[in-house]
């Protein structure tokens, strides 16, 4: 740890910024300095935005999405096709699919993928709630939009088995998703194509 070059308030800011994904200690210092120089135009609005988001953030009780309203914006949007549930591991995947405007259905966020090695079992994920939703009469298709990793595919198979008696079509993304690929890192075109060319399990 290098010696502090600024007061504790600034060092604290740098330490917190350094915890953000994609920011190491060096870029955290640069970001902190940038904020400090732009404290009226950027730092104050950012502090307000953080505070407001903190107070309003809620996890959607229907789908597990993160939003400032509950049920979330997507679950309450009447223009969404309620017959399709897109299953994702994480909110970042939901955001990636929305960026790609890949599908106009509703979502279900599992909160991770099954991972025996990391001790993540079915009880740690929002799987029971998904099975219950899949049994609703309005639901006709469940799209498993999970990462093309071992854990993602294990999870897809597990869910497919559970949905056998739900009388829904279960589909998965087409092979546009590279093996080991994480949805969040795919470009919008690839993601949209993978959804369009989805295959039935």
Let me know if 43 is exposed, middle or buried by CB neighbors in 10 A (0-12, 13-18, 19+).
middle
DSSP summary character for residue 131: H
Of 6, 10, 18, 62, the one binding Zn ion by CB under 5 A: 62
Asked if 65 interacts with Zn ion (CB under 5 A), we say yes
Tokens standing for residue 102: 């890949």
Say how many CA atoms lie within 13 Å of 101 toward its Cβ: 0
Task: Measure Cα distances from 107 to 31, 35, 151, 164 in Å.
Answer: 34, 36, 20, 19
Among 50-58, 67-75, 79-87, 167-175, which window interacts with Zn ion (CB under 5 A)? 67-75
Report the site for Zn ion in 86-105 (rule: CB under 5 A). none
Phi, psi of 114 (to 5 degrees): -60, 135
DSSP summary character for residue 41: I
Among 10-18, 70-78, 118-126, 135-143, which window interacts with Zn ion (CB under 5 A)? 70-78
Among 13-21, 64-72, 85-93, 182-190, which window interacts with Zn ion (CB under 5 A)? 64-72
Task: Measure Cα distances from 166 to 92, 102, 152 in Å.
Answer: 27, 25, 21
CB of 19 to Zn ion, least distance (A): 28
CB of 88 to Zn ion, least distance (A): 12
Give the total of residues touching Zn ion (CB under 5 A). 7
Of 14, 32, 75, 89, the one binding Zn ion by CB under 5 A: 75
- Residue whose pair of structure tokens reads 């017959």 in the numeric block: 83
Task: Measure Cα distances from 3 to 6, 7, 11 in Å.
Answer: 9, 11, 10
CB of 102 to Zn ion, least distance (A): 17
CB of 75 to Zn ion, least distance (A): 3
User: Interface mask (CB under 5 A) for Zn ion, residues 28-57, using x and -?
Assistant: ------------------------------
- Residues making contact with Zn ion (CB under 5 A): 60, 62-63, 65, 71-72, 75
């Amino acid at each position: 740890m290098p010696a502090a070059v600024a007061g504790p308030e600034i060092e604290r800011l740098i330490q917190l910024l350094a915890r953000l994904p994609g920011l190491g200690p060096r870029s955290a210092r640069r970001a902190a300095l940038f904020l400090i120089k732009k404290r009226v135009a950027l730092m104050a609005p950012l502090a307000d935005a953080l505070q407001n988001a903190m107070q309003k953030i809620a996890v959607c009780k229907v789908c597990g999405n993160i939003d400032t309203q509950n049920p979330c914006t997507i679950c309450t949007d009447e223009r969404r096709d309620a017959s399709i549930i897109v299953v994702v591991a994480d909110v970042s995947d939901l955001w990636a699919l929305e960026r790609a405007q890949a599908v106009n259905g509703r979502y279900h966020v599992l909160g991770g993928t099954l991972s025996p090695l990391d001790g993540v079992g079915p009880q740690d994920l929002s799987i029971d709630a998904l099975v219950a939703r899949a049994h609703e009469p309005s639901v006709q298709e469940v799209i498993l939009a999970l990462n093309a990793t071992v854990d993602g595919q294990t999870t897809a198979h597990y869910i497919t088995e559970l949905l056998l008696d739900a009388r829904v079509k279960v589909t998965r993304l087409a092979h546009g998703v590279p093996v080991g690929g994480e949805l969040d890192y795919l470009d919008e075109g690839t993601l949209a194509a993978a959804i369009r060319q989805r295959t039935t399990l």
